[in-house]
Structure formats: C-alpha cells, structure tokens
Amino acid sequence: MQTDNPNSPIWFSVGEASGDLHGAELMKALKAQDPTLTFTGMGGSAMAAEGLDIRYDMDLISLVGITEILGGLFKIILLLRKIKQTLTEVRPRAIILVDCPEFNFRIAKMAYKLGIPVYYYISPQIWAWRSGRVHFLRKYVRRVICILPFEKPFYEKFGVDVDYVGHPLMDVLPFDELDSIPVDDKRIGLLPGSRSKEISSLLPVFGETARLLAKKHPDLRYVMVCAPGRNKEHLMDLWPEDIPVECVEPDNRYATFRSCKFMLAASGTVTLETALIGTPAAVAYKVSKISELIGKLLVNVDFISLPNLIMNKEVYPEYIQQEANAENLAKQALQWLDDPKSYDKMWQDLADLRSRVGEPGAADRAATIILNNLTT
C-alpha cells in the first residue's frame, strides 16, 4: 500500500462542465487550508485556472446515455490504459473523483489497486438508478462526500463512510447581486446542454418551440448560454434562421439566468442553478431508444431534475423522450406567459427550494474532511 507522500500532487478526475466548476471550488478550499498542495489529472478550464495540471481534457469523456458510451467505448478503454500508466508513474497523494460514475468507477478501482486513497466529491446518483453500485463505493472509496440532503441516509444504510457538506452552489451564486436583477418578461433563456448528443437532439426542439411561441408572442427575445468549449457556429446551425437568438458565453451566465422570464433547459446540474437563482424552467431530456429502454428497467426515482428530487414534487415540469417536443414546451411556456398565478406559484416553490440545500461552505467542509482523513 502507498504511504502518504505530502509532496505528491492530488489527482482530480472530472468529466463535465458542472464538475469542472465544483472541482475548481474544491481546489480553492484545499489550497486555502494547505498552500503547498499541487493538483493534476483530468478537468476543464475552470480547474485549469485554479492551477490544475491537466493531463487529460475532460472533453475526452463527454458522453451521455448508455448507447452513446458504448459508441465511444474503444477510445475510453485506450484512455483508461493511459491514465493507469500515468497514475503508476505519478503516484498521487490522493484521488478526488467528481461525479461521472461510468468513468470514475474505473479510476477508483485503479487507485485502490495502487494503494492510493480515493475520495468521491459530488457523489454519484446511484440512489437514482443501478443502486447496487453502492457496494462498489463501500469497497473502493475511502469517503463519499455528498451534497444533497437525502443522499447521506441512503449511503449510511449500506455502511458507506459518508459526509454531507451541503451544496457548493450556495458558495458560487452571488445571491444578493442576483436577487436585485430585474426580470425581463420578453427574454427567454436557452440551455441546450453541454454534451454534443444532447445539444443536437434538444436545440432544434427549442428552436421549433420558439417558432410556435412567435405566433402569439412575436416580441419574445431568445438568449442561449453556450457551454464551455462549444462551437457557436455549430449551435447556430441547429437554430432556425428566422428566429433571432443571442449567444452568450457562460462567464456571466447567472445574471443571464436571472434576467430571463423562464428557461428551456436540458436536464442536468444547470437546472439546480436556475432554480436556486429563482428562474422557472421547462426541463427536457432525450437519449437513444436503447438507453431509454435500459433506463426504464434501472431507474429508481420519479423525477430527473434535481429541484424536483430535492422538493419531492414536480416544481419544474419535465418532458422526457417523445414528450420533449415543441408542442409541449410551447404549451408550458404560454402558461407562464399568459397566467400570472401559475408563474407566481413557481416562484414560491423556488424560494422554498433555496432554504433546503444547506448553508454556504460546502467546499471548505469537503476540503477539511479530505485533508483530515489523509493525515489520520
């Protein structure tokens, strides 16, 4: 087994935009508690800005759905072989996994065999589907650090060493500033996702929704928040030419979210961001037919979006697979545009949600847990 070497870097394994954001915040907290720490591994631009030595870009595993993962399986196998060799050479002090279980479980197993302690931050949503994987975590991960209030009892039930730290978005979102931004009743936000497959399947649907809304509300304006690293020209190719749209970078996305009347959004962490900010959203989700069939057999929850899971009711309307069409989305949008009572009810639910996700300081608490555990 590896002995703790304080001069070795901490390895991060991050596979998507939200994980890059939360990984960067955790890096800040770790450096604040121990300025001598260095970091390497897989991540994105936010973590690179905090000093992560990126050995492998997270876009290499930017996949969604079971068949989509299978389609890129050969490349992922080659990537995992390279990472195993790098881990053997670098011998990091610890490995911090951030979400992305389909990939990170392989990293956890590698690290276990090399005697490298593993910490899982932003615990995988195995309570939602394929819950049997909890036994894997109990064996291969030293501590699971969860950010949703209902996760800790789930893991404890299976004997996993787990800590609840609250949600890191409570540190990232500048609520005082955002709450003062007025809502533009004519501005509609678009969040087509961060992965190529979901963008190509959802953005045309959002565009057709805009066309339908134009029949009754021709004065609506659309703003699309582009995920990091996405080509604007490709996004515009998927959007109808006759509907003007503004495409903005993600740097100032929170102010953009707050300024919108509502959002059309792909399912993902971004829906919790918009919910905490207080902006209504209609959530859409599409994967391949095979992924859908397998998902129906394995999924254990009633909702797909985090706001609904936390509130245990449908706060954000969800449109899944064939239900994620322009007609349904336009119908919901018109209800918010034309029925003030319906819109106000949504605002009340979102205000309640903010009180349920914990106090600020999640990354600091996670950093303390990891560093204390490493030295014991």
Residue 325 and residue 211 in contact, taking contact as beta carbons nearer than 8 Å:
no
In this structure, is residue 281 part of a structural domain?
A: yes
Residues 107 and 79 in one domain: yes
Residues 102 and 157 in one domain: yes
In this structure, is residue 5 part of a structural domain?
A: no
Residues 328 and 210 in one domain: yes
Q: Identify the residue with better confidence: 184 or 293.
A: 184
For residue 38, the enclosing domain spans 10-168+361-374
Return d(Cα 133, Cα 137) in angstroms, integer. Answer: 7
Residues 234 and 330 in one domain: yes
Q: What is the pLDDT of residue 43?
A: 95
Q: Is the pLDDT of residue 251 over 90?
A: no
Instruction: Read off the CATH number of the domain in which 336 is found.
Output: 3.40.50.2000
Residues 211 and 313 in one domain: yes
Name 320's bridge partners. Answer: 285
**pTM of the prediction?**
0.76
Residues 125 and 27 in one domain: yes
Q: Identify the residue with better confidence: 237 or 70.
A: 237
In total, how many domains does the chain have? 2
Residues 281 and 350 in one domain: yes
Residues 160 and 273 in one domain: no
In this structure, is residue 2 part of a structural domain?
A: no
In this structure, is residue 4 part of a structural domain?
A: no
Q: What is the pLDDT of residue 67?
A: 45
Residues 317 and 255 in one domain: yes
Return d(Cα 123, Cα 353) in angstroms, integer. Answer: 20
Q: Are β-strands 281-285 and 245-248 bridged in parallel, bridged antiparallel, or unpaired?
A: unpaired
Q: What is the pLDDT of residue 299?
A: 53
Residues 47 and 131 in one domain: yes
Name 299's bridge partners. Answer: 129
Give residue 234's pLDDT band: very low, low, confident or very high (50, 70, 90): confident
Residues 328 and 209 in one domain: yes
Rounded average pLDDT over 218-230? 88
Q: Are β-strands 53-57 and 94-98 bridged in parallel, bridged antiparallel, or unpaired?
A: unpaired
